[in-house]
Structure 1
Amino acid sequence: MFKNSTSKKFEIRILTIILISTFLLYLNHFNNPFIFDDTHTIESNNSIRTLNNWTTFFTDADTFSSLPANRAYRPMITLMNAIDYNIAGELDPSYFHYHIFFWFLVLIVFVFVLCKHIYKISLKKDKYAGIVALFSIAWFAFHTGNAETINYICARSDSFSTLCIVASLLLYINPFSRKWHLYIITMIIGIWTKQTGVMFFPILVTYIILFEEHTFLTDFRTETRTKTISILKKVLPTGIIASFLFILNQYYLTPESTDSTNFSVTRFEYISTQWYVIKHYLSNFFLPINLSADPDIAIIKPWYNFKILSGLIIIIVLFYLMIKTSLKKELRPIAFGIAWFFIALLPTTLNPLFQIANDHRMFFPFIGLFIAVPYSVLILVKNQKVFEQKKLLYLIPVTLFILAGNAYGTVQRNKVWNSHESLWLDVTIKSPKNGRGQMNYGLTQMEKGNYDIALEYFEKANSLSPNYYILHTNLAILYSAKKDFQKAESYFDSAIKLNTNSPSPHYFFAQYLSDQKRYLEAKKQVEIALQKSPNHIQSKNLLDKISKNSIKTNEELHSLQTQVENSEDPTKLLNISLKYYQIQEYKLVISTCKKILKIDPKNAYAYNNICSAYNQLKKWELGAKACKKAIEIMPNYELAKNNLKWALNNLEKANKE
Structure 2
Amino acid sequence: MSQKSIWSRLPLHLLLIAAIGVIAYGNSFHVPFLLDDEVSIVNNNVIKDLHRFLFDDGYAYNPRRFLGYLTVALNYRLGGAEVAGYHVVNLAIHIISGWLTYLLARLTLTTPFFRRDGEAPAASHFIPLFAALLFVAHPVQTQAVTYVIQRVASLATLFFVASLACYAKARLLQEESGKPLAGKALFCYVLALAAAGCAMKSKEIAFTLPFVVVLYEFMFFRMTAAKKLLFLLPVGFTVLIVPLSLLGTNKPIGQIISDVTAVTRVDSELSRLDYLFTQFPVIATYLRLLVLPVRQNLDYDFPVYHSLASLPVLFSLLLLLGLFGAALLLWRRSGDAQAAPELRLISFGILWFFITISVESSVIPIADVIFEHRVYLPSVGAFIAVAALFSLFSKGALSRAAVATAGVVVLALTATTFARNQVWGNEVNLWQDVVRKSPQKARPHYNLALALEKSGRLDESLREAIAATRLSPKEANPYNLIGSIFGKTGNYDQAIAALSQAVKLDPTLAEAQVNLGDAYRLKGMLPQAMEQYQAAMKQRPTDASIYHKIGVTFALQKNLPRAAVFFQCAASLDPSTPQYRLDLMRAQAGAQAK
Give the corresponding residue for 1:569.
none
Q: How many Å apart are 1:137 and its aligned residue?
A: 1.1
Structure 1: runs of 5+ lacking an equivalent: 65-71, 215-225, 532-538, 561-657
Query: For the structure 1 residues 525 and 248, does the alpha-carbon distance in structure 2 shift closer, same or farther, using more than 3 Å as the test?
Result: same
Give the corresponding residue for 1:303.
308
Q: How many Å apart are 1:466 and its aligned residue?
A: 2.8
Q: CA contact under 8 A between 1:509 and 1:522: conserved in structure 2?
A: yes
1:378 aligns with 2:378: no
1:166 aligns with 2:161: yes
Measure the CA separation in 2 of the matches of 1:38 and 1:75.
16
2:543 to 540, 543, 555: 540
1:335 aligns with 2:335: no
Give the corresponding residue for 1:91.
81
Query: For the structure 1 residues 397 and 75, does the alpha-carbon distance in structure 2 shift closer, same or farther, using more than 3 Å as the test?
Result: same
Q: Report which stretch shifted further, 37-46 or 435-444.
A: 435-444
Give the corresponding residue for 2:140.
145
Give the corresponding residue for 2:374.
361
Query: For the structure 1 residues 441 and 201, does the alpha-carbon distance in structure 2 shift closer, same or farther, using more than 3 Å as the test?
Result: same
Q: CA contact under 8 A between 1:171 and 1:177: conserved in structure 2?
A: no
Q: How many Å apart are 1:59 and its aligned residue?
A: 6.2
Which residues in structure 2 correspond to 1:497-576 (within 5 Å)? Answer: 498-499=505-506, 504-506=511-513, 508-509=515-516, 518=526, 520-530=530-540, 540-546=543-549, 549=552, 552-553=555-556
Measure the CA separation in 1 of the matches of 2:322 and 2:186.
35
Give the corresponding residue for 1:208.
217
1:28 aligns with 2:27: yes
Deviation track 1:18-73 (CA, whole Å, cap 9, x = no partner) reads: 31232132111111110111010111111111112123577654x35xxxxxxx74
**What letter matches 2:101 in structure 1?**
V
Give the corresponding residue for 2:279.
274
Q: CA contact under 8 A between 1:111 and 1:166: conserved in structure 2?
A: yes
Which residues in structure 2 correspond to 1:562-641 (within 5 Å)? Answer: none
Q: How many Å apart are 1:192 and its aligned residue?
A: 1.5
Measure the CA separation in 2 of the matches of 1:119 and 1:484.
70
Larger radius of gyration: 1
Q: How many Å apart are 1:241 and its aligned residue?
A: 3.2
Q: Report which stretch shifted further, 159-168 or 430-439.
A: 430-439
Give the corresponding residue for 2:190.
181
Query: For the structure 1 residues 115 and 515, does the alpha-carbon distance in structure 2 shift closer, same or farther, using more than 3 Å as the test?
Result: farther
Q: CA contact under 8 A between 1:303 and 1:309: conserved in structure 2?
A: yes
SS at 2:109's partner residue? helix
Deviation track 1:73-113 (CA, whole Å, cap 9, x = no partner) reads: 4222222111111111x311111111222222211111110
1:237 aligns with 2:234: yes
Q: CA contact under 8 A between 1:526 and 1:542: conserved in structure 2?
A: no
Deviation track 1:136-164 (CA, whole Å, cap 9, x = no partner) reads: 11111111111221110010011001001
Query: For the structure 1 residues 196 and 97, does the alpha-carbon distance in structure 2 shift closer, same or farther, using more than 3 Å as the test?
Result: same
Which residues in structure 2 correspond to 1:107-506 (within 5 Å)? Answer: 107-121=97-111, 122-123=113-114, 124-175=119-170, 176=184, 178=186, 181-213=190-222, 227=225, 229-250=226-247, 261-327=266-332, 328-329=334-335, 330=341, 331-350=343-362, 351-382=364-395, 387=397, 392-496=399-503, 498-499=505-506, 504-506=511-513
Give the corresponding residue for 1:220.
none
Alignment RMSD (CA, Å) = 3.1
How many residue pairs are counted as aligned between the two chains?
A: 524
Measure the CA separation in 1 of the matches of 2:77 and 2:556.
37
SS at 1:296's partner residue? coil
Measure the CA separation in 1 of the matches of 2:263 and 2:520.
29
SS at 2:359's partner residue? helix
Q: CA contact under 8 A between 2:265 and 2:366: conserved in structure 1?
A: yes
**TM-score with structure 2 setting the length:** 0.80
Query: For the structure 1 residues 41 and 413, does the alpha-carbon distance in structure 2 shift closer, same or farther, using more than 3 Å as the test?
Result: same
Structure 2: runs of 5+ lacking an equivalent: 171-183, 336-340, 564-594
Q: CA contact under 8 A between 1:506 and 1:528: conserved in structure 2?
A: no
Q: How many Å apart are 1:301 and its aligned residue?
A: 4.2
Q: Report which stretch shifted further, 243-252 or 437-446.
A: 243-252
Measure the CA separation in 1 of the matches of 2:326 and 2:264.
38
Q: How many Å apart are 1:485 and its aligned residue?
A: 3.6
**TM-score with structure 1 setting the length:** 0.73
Deviation track 1:482-523 (CA, whole Å, cap 9, x = no partner) reads: 444445344444444545666554555566567668563354
Query: For the structure 1 residues 246 and 437, does the alpha-carbon distance in structure 2 shift closer, same or farther, using more than 3 Å as the test?
Result: same
Measure the CA separation in 2 of the matches of 1:83 and 1:511.
37
Q: How many Å apart are 1:380 and its aligned residue?
A: 2.8
Q: CA contact under 8 A between 1:506 and 1:529: conserved in structure 2?
A: no
